[in-house]
Structure 1
């Protein structure tokens, strides 16, 4: 569960990149965070994960404040950033073991998890190679694997499907559903509206730092009183902002 409580972020003390937003992402749901580039999606995710601090407000992950108790809060979630270019001198297996060490995953548990994830993402033959030799899609997969190695309660994914091949994208979407079926939480940002339509239980649309809509896709359709596609509704929501 994630609670975003009256959160704002200003980088220049004049304009808010994120402007007084409040959201509750429940256990057992895939929650999509939609908006055009520059809308405030990544800033919000960086505040949820504790990379940057909000100017005002508070954020709780599994009931723990990321601003007041960041180390405990960070144990509760996995974070996949929008750019997977990190630790490029490490081999795939070294990166996964490093992430397992960070989260205190036992030797037996990590072995089983690495075998399972590398098989699902078809990465078994690449684990001995350095990340700098990987394609963008392979780097994306290894970062996802590293994030999930400690089986966290909450997944926070920033544009997670970018660069993935269709099979891997399908597998990740399948894993999101398995995770929420177990009563856990997935929060992910995207500007690909078709993905949100197929995967999400609820969505929020953000533009220019403000939440324009939050609810189910059915509620969104009812809100517009029409059978328009999500893309058309999205454009109607944002065109006058």
Structure 2
């Protein structure tokens, strides 16, 4: 969800204003997604590298996360949205972890849309954690090293419960993967838009899906 800072800079506003506008874009996209046939929507909300940002910006982002979950969870539940998280999110501040756990529990039975928020997430870290889990299973005798294959790795990723993404979207013209779902995106279709995330809405999401519909997916078969 790129472009919050640039959106604010264009308007001579502080960066936090861009992040707040980005939260509004999240609301619009989540509301539109089920009607467009999307079953799982993953948002890269806070990366494991984002800790390098200025402390006040990190604090603002954590505050916005708290505000979003508190203010939106009842509406998400009422609208049939299941809220999930990936990444090392349990290493966040204890009160925030408790808030996220409560939101997961409240929405666990919903099936209209699964909204996955990547928090304290990095693809390298996810793969390292999967490797450690495999090593532990081998050491404990639960798994033969010779039997480790792609399925065994995928089963130990944070996203094991869900299918690989069909589309990876980058807003604001960014052309890099940025350590996001490195394993899972092997055959995803990439769509890049110049639209800054705070300006993203239902029409923009529909446009992304229209672009996806034109792609011929071969998965290496031909």
Provide TM-score, normalisation by structure 1.
0.31
More helix by share: 2
More strand by share: 1
Provide TM-score, normalisation by structure 2.
0.32
